[in-house]
Amino acid sequence: MAELRFDGKVAVVTGAGHGLGRSHALMLAERGAKVVVNDLGGARDGSGASAGPAAQVVAEIEERGGTAVVSADNVATPEGAQAIVRTALDTFGRIDIVVNNAGLLRDKSIGKMTVEEFDSVIAVHVRGSFLVSHAAFPHLKSQGYGRIVNTSSPSGLFGSFGQANYSTAKMGLVGMTKTFALEGARANIKVNAIAPVAWTRMTEGLMPADFEERLTPARVTPLVVYLCHDQCETSGEVFSVGGGRIARVFVAEGPGWKQDEHSVEDIQDNWSTITAEQPYLTPTTLGDQSAASFKAML
């Protein structure tokens, strides 16, 4: 089987100074991509800033014979996002791939979470992914080629105690992924999301110590790299990935219950049919979600 290479391609990986982003940047560079290693370089909660972590990853890439450049810009501001894309264009002359990976945690239960803690997490994950993609999109569109990978989370897909800000952001990225995929389809821009599990500074306190060896970032990265490749035709999908397992996660709709005129009590009487899961309707290709929903309504 031929190795999937990225020679001539330019990739931006946000939040690539540590953890998953670092791992993605290293593998993309190893396979020939020129990489913009972006990282604001703050702490796990987003406080502080330093170009150090991004510079260290660039040095690692260069030591292994790859090509990379540092970006210490903030994904969460329009100026920062534009500067990240400009770094790719000014340094390497093009941009082909965006991996929106930068993230932070500010966990609190709803009673204790401040509005600032909510907003700051939405700003980096949702706004940051929008802003960097938004800055890159015109370039991807004009060249008729692009790949975007967003980083969602099981917390968003399934909920997570103490993470109202983070889970809202991560499910928001699923909607963003599906809409970007629809909007990018005609220009051969494929957009997907991952919901990873990996042992990083973000999660090390939340997992038993013996998970470190099994849940390495290196077990998430090959999927990201595949989704970035021009031979990957998939778009608009979400994949659960970690510890060696990869699975598509999809939104499904149950068979439902239909009665044109119905009372509140009719709904109560038919609740088990309304909430039944089988046989579910699930989209198989982009755009089928609405078709499936309409079919279910008729």
Which residues in this chain contact ligand NAI in the complex, by CB under 6 A?
A: 14-15, 17-21, 38-42, 44, 46, 53, 74-76, 101-104, 124, 128, 151, 153, 196-198, 200-203
Tell the burial category of 134 from Cβ atoms under 10 Å away from its Cβ (0-12, 13-18, 19+). Answer: middle
Measured CA to CA, the distance from residue 92 to residue 35 in angstroms comes to: 9
Smallest gap from Cβ 259 to ligand NAI, in A, equals 41
Helix or strand run (H / E) with residue 226 = helix 221-228
Q: Whose CB is nearest to ligand NAI? A: 19
Residue 145 a catalytic site member: no
Nearest to 40 by CA among 92, 95, 100, 103: 103
**Long-range CB contacts (within 8 A, 24+) of 230-233:** 230/145, 230/147, 231/4, 232/147, 232/190, 233/190
How far from 63 is each of 10, 16, 58, 60, 71, CA to CA, in Å?
A: 19, 17, 9, 5, 18
Measured CA to CA, the distance from residue 156 to residue 238 in angstroms comes to: 12
Cβ closest to ligand NAI, residue 201 vs residue 295:
201
Measured CA to CA, the distance from residue 80 to residue 234 in angstroms comes to: 29
Q: Which of 145, 166, 226, 280 is the catalytic position?
A: 166
Smallest gap from Cβ 153 to ligand NAI, in A, equals 3
Measured CA to CA, the distance from residue 72 to residue 282 in angstroms comes to: 41
Cβ closest to ligand NAI, residue 73 vs residue 96:
73
Smallest gap from Cβ 256 to ligand NAI, in A, equals 32
Strand ranges (E), the chain: 10-13, 34-38, 67-71, 97-100, 146-151, 189-196, 238-242, 245-249
Smallest gap from Cβ 19 to ligand NAI, in A, equals 2
Q: To 10 degrees, what angle do helices 78-92 and 128-143 make? A: 40
Smallest gap from Cβ 169 to ligand NAI, in A, equals 8
Cβ closest to ligand NAI, residue 19 vs residue 66:
19
Smallest gap from Cβ 59 to ligand NAI, in A, equals 15
Cβ closest to ligand NAI, residue 132 vs residue 189:
132
Cβ closest to ligand NAI, residue 42 vs residue 254:
42
Cβ closest to ligand NAI, residue 76 vs residue 140:
76
Cite the active site residues. 166
